[in-house]
Structure 1
């Protein structure tokens, strides 16, 4: 079997001796986009002072304009961060939450951001409330559970767009609409969403949204964004106070002034976003995504047959990832076994269950899935 596109596979720099089924964690960057970053790094080093003082702000504006068009929002409502966790730290530490206030979330959220909520909640005294969203996932039950857990103390609803441990696409549009009706702040962790599923910020109607560009958008490592609606921007404080705060030369956006320049930083990766979007357009990425989603469903069915477990959600809630339950006593032992056989795939502990989470990107083929399946069979036969 061949991959979706052999020519696209050749654009990536992945070690061919490994079976790489974990695009979801850190992505992989094609050569043209990787070289774009190198180009910008060289430009910076030619004239560091002139570049940073005279060009950086305009170039970041250009990059944000392209990103804003890609995800349908105003470029001045976007600021770059190295990763969604850093962006969420800024947001969570800024919010004026007090003793008695509640943040409503789920038990499917990303661990690093959960830790941030827990850390800040202990300092400020508010409650971070994780509701139990059971599997197999049911959309109507999920929305009803959110509704039933809202009370007069609920100030924020925080959810993932695509969950990290379970790889489920949550119906966040409906939740954002509900939050707006009730005057509750909506915050969505969209780390896995850009270029993975259709993302339209204006249509979502979300207050705050963070996403990674170094995952499914194929940018180099360290490119993420924070979107904040204009109505919410005055509520956010800079994570690092620097020259932009109470700037001597303010722009039209205090939000950008506070967050865009926080000391000397290599912005070359941020400037690859237009190149990444061009790469997606040139390679008809909508069709690539559709084909990869079909392959993830086919892969899921093959592997579930071997694992003798059931799907945790309907296929309509899957993109290019799927988490598959495996009944084994030790996740670390399986992870190391697969790693020792040059198979890169996360084994996830979640609420007493263990999942194998597969990703299917354009460089994958069903041979990769069959290879994983072979070693899963061997492992299960050995225990």
Structure 2
């Protein structure tokens, strides 16, 4: 499998979780899309791209248990989180509920949003070792009549835990509480069925475990949420808003013009500017940008399908769990979560003081001295080596990390 990727053979790469890695054939598909665009940029971006994006969304939707019309492409999951955060009307005293396992950049998004609005960001401690059966109950117990939204990861970044979501989303829905799931690490690492999960909003990266090109992700809106009460606002106000206003005022005749904005918009004949649904109109056209990463998502899905990816996932999970067992057995430490609450990333506790300096020193030593690319994080008084195991990794890769940690005395 390694031959399909461009990774440096001199580096033991165990950090697929940060930015992913893309197979050669998928990069070639992206380059073909870029070259096709350059043959006639106006025809491609202005007229063809809407249909091309719709086709890519449909292929992605089939993979993740959703409908294409309920998806929009975004460059990364952080953008998806920000779109929902900026769109949610919060009043002083309202509450946003989250956990102490969330990705720092997204926590910062909610911190800023709460400061702006006077709302309160409440963090629920989810203790280690993780108890899956207590997860939903712990969060629901923290909800109050002022809780507007619950924000949780599907697979956490620092601790690599797969949170069970269905019961939480269903119970929150009954209480009238909105759910937003940060699925940055989930697509491609676990089988997804967004309809079954039932979150109001779910955002996930395609460029991580799905192995699509960098800058490809999605935001999914549960169908009954498309009409509100949270009307999503794009980070960039562009032609979709003009088309929406024109349609509201009767200036767009969908049957006659195919949904094209006419008259005072100043542009005609550009499908990409308008979109066929409110979600498309508001979020699809963000000015001129390279759409090739989005359009190459189907190629990434086909690559994984051609190589029996579920079997690779199982192999990688088993390898990751075995690595964790070996290191923990040597150290006499306990795992932070049950095996079935982990996927292809494992958070391995090590014996080093739980400070940022010590964690960074270990990461740098592994990188500089042993040529091992792996993140070292800290959570709740523990330093964790978060090893990602992807299909291109070998048993020898994991043995190098195991032996390096032993040599470091951790």
Q: TM-score, normalised by structure 2?
A: 0.89
Following superposition of structure 1 onto structure 2, how do residues 161-310 of structure 1 map, counting pairs within 5 Å?
161-233=154-226, 234=228, 235-247=231-243, 249=261, 250-310=274-334
Following superposition of structure 1 onto structure 2, how do residues 99-118 of structure 1 map, counting pairs within 5 Å?
99-118=92-111
> Which of 362, 378, 381 matches 1:334?
362
- 1:77 paired with 2:106, answer no
1:167 CA drift (Å): 0.4
Aligned to 1:9: 2
1:130 CA drift (Å): 0.9
Classify the secondary structure of the residue corresponding to 1:206.
coil
Structure 2 stretches lacking a partner, 5+ long? 247-260, 262-273
- 1:316 paired with 2:312, answer no
Classify the secondary structure of the residue corresponding to 1:231.
helix
1 CA distance for matches of 2:35 and 2:332? 53
1 CA distance for matches of 2:311 and 2:173? 34
2 CA distance for matches of 1:314 and 1:282? 31
2 CA distance for matches of 1:136 and 1:202? 29
Following superposition of structure 1 onto structure 2, how do residues 49-128 of structure 1 map, counting pairs within 5 Å?
49-128=42-121
On the 8 A contact 1:158/1:186 being kept in 2, the answer is yes
On the 8 A contact 1:299/1:366 being kept in 2, the answer is no
Deviation >4 Å, runs of 4+: none
2 CA distance for matches of 1:307 and 1:257? 55
1:151-173 CA distance string (max 9 Å, x none): 11111111100010000000111
> Which of 334, 352, 355 matches 2:381?
352
Classify the secondary structure of the residue corresponding to 1:121.
helix
1:295 CA drift (Å): 1.1
Change over 3 Å in CA distance of 1:47–1:307 after alignment to 2: farther
Classify the secondary structure of the residue corresponding to 1:257.
helix
Report how many residues are paired.
374
1 CA distance for matches of 2:132 and 2:43? 53
1:108-145 CA distance string (max 9 Å, x none): 00111001000111011111111010000012222221
1:68-112 CA distance string (max 9 Å, x none): 111121111111111111111111011011111111110000111
1 CA distance for matches of 2:310 and 2:293? 24
1:183 CA drift (Å): 1.2
2 CA distance for matches of 1:352 and 1:117? 24
2 CA distance for matches of 1:40 and 1:61? 15
On the 8 A contact 2:50/2:275 being kept in 1, the answer is no
1:246 CA drift (Å): 3.0
1:147 CA drift (Å): 2.1
On the 8 A contact 2:240/2:275 being kept in 1, the answer is no
On the 8 A contact 1:101/1:153 being kept in 2, the answer is yes
Aligned to 1:371: 400
Aligned to 1:3: none
Following superposition of structure 1 onto structure 2, how do residues 19-30 of structure 1 map, counting pairs within 5 Å?
19-30=12-23
C-alpha RMSD of the superposition? 1.2
Classify the secondary structure of the residue corresponding to 2:292.
coil
2 CA distance for matches of 1:253 and 1:267? 19
On the 8 A contact 2:147/2:177 being kept in 1, the answer is yes
Aligned to 1:155: 148
